[in-house]
Amino acid sequence: MREVPPVEDLGEGLWSVPVPVPHNPVGFTYVYVLGTPGGPVLVDVGWDHDASWDALVSGLEQTGHRVDEVRGAVLTHFHADHSGLTGRLRAASDAWVAAHPADARVLRRQSERTDDQRAASVVEQMTRAGFPEEDVEAYRASPTVFRPPALPDLALDDGQRVDAPGLDLRAVWTPGHTPGHLCLRLAGRELLFTGDHVLPRITPHVGQFPLDSAEGDPLGDFLASQDRIGRLPGADHLLCLPSHESRFSGLPRRAREIVDHHEERLEGMTALLGQGPATLWELTSRLEWRRPWADMRPLARHMAASETAAHLRLLEERGRARREGPTDRPRWACVIPGTTPRI
């Protein structure tokens, strides 16, 4: 578990409050607190856990604020380590919660399903992806399901100004990590809150759900968003405040590094497909991962497969891969340049 750093004064009414994510290798999520005449505005809120809530409340006190004074919270995206405490925050204050409409739609769909329905959906995806029965049964025995937080009550579109009196804080839509991921630019201070879109060392997860979906192109969106964020006016001079790891500068260079990483991954997957058609599980299990495949739990393997699926989807968009075989157990094959794919 990573050591949780202290609350830090970043000057001019801006603070970073690290909120722990217990029993999770991510360690903590930075919640940023911006002081305004109408009460503090938060960027993200943190994980839904008693220890996380206590850290947020005590962190706010160290910034000179009470939790009931919070004016509002902007979610960079809907993932639980960023949005989990929205319900507790609402119960303790009159704070509004804003998110991009695309992420709000995801949360609304999730909220309409029961835990059993969400778990059954994962089982179905694993089966269609070609996961061996022992993996599917292991997941069935101890399913991990995403329980949506309280729904946001304000929509924040690309370029829209946040309700933060005295501050020009604007949304920059960067879809990919989630459909509605937002970065936030604070004018006048050359600051950019990057959420999980751009991190200084690691690359965020970009997955495709359902795993074999032929709709959407999350990785294509993500790479386009990296290009866009790297071309922001004055990008070279921005100080980036991410949700994890540490503050950094050199945004255009880091955005290019992230794109290059995924392009290398796409090339490696194309080479594997050149050895013959493969199910999603077969391809995922042959790739290199930070943790050895044999050591991954079923849910981690499912997440790895979703990342592989996103790469396959982009290869399909580029005409370099095609899916074939039965719809209940598709396989992917390499498309050789200059040939006509089979229908």
State mean pLDDT over 2-23: 95
pTM of model > 0.75: yes
User: What pLDDT shows up at residue 1?
Assistant: 56
Contacts of 6 (CB under 8 A, 6+ apart): 18
pLDDT at 317 over 80: yes
DSSP assignment, residue 329? S
Provide, rounded to the nearest whole percent, the portion of the chain with pLDDT above 70.
97
At the topology level of CATH, where does 1-343 sit?
Answer: Metallo-beta-lactamase; Chain A (3.60.15)
341 or 303, greater pLDDT? 303
Residue 41 tokens read as 């505005």
pLDDT at 6 over 80: yes
State mean pLDDT over 99-126: 93
pLDDT at 254 over 80: yes
pLDDT at 324 over 80: yes
Per-domain residue ranges for the chain?
1-343
User: What pLDDT shows up at residue 341?
Assistant: 43
φ, ψ for residue 234, nearest 5 deg: 75, 20
pLDDT at 31 over 70: yes
Q: Where are the extended beta strands (E) located within 112-190?
A: 154-155, 169-173, 182-186
State mean pLDDT over 203-217: 93
pLDDT at 338 over 90: no
pLDDT at 281 over 90: yes
Mean pLDDT of the chain: 94
pLDDT at 145 over 90: no
DSSP helix/strand/coil, 204: coil
What's the length of the chain? 343
Q: Where are the extended beta strands (E) located within the chain?
A: 8-11, 14-20, 28-34, 41-43, 72-74, 96-99, 154-155, 169-173, 182-186, 191-195, 239-242, 321-324, 331-334
User: What pLDDT shows up at residue 342?
Assistant: 45
d(CA 305, CA 283): 9
pLDDT at 239 over 90: yes
Amino acid occupying residue 125: Q
Most confident of 5-9, 24-28, 115-119: 5-9
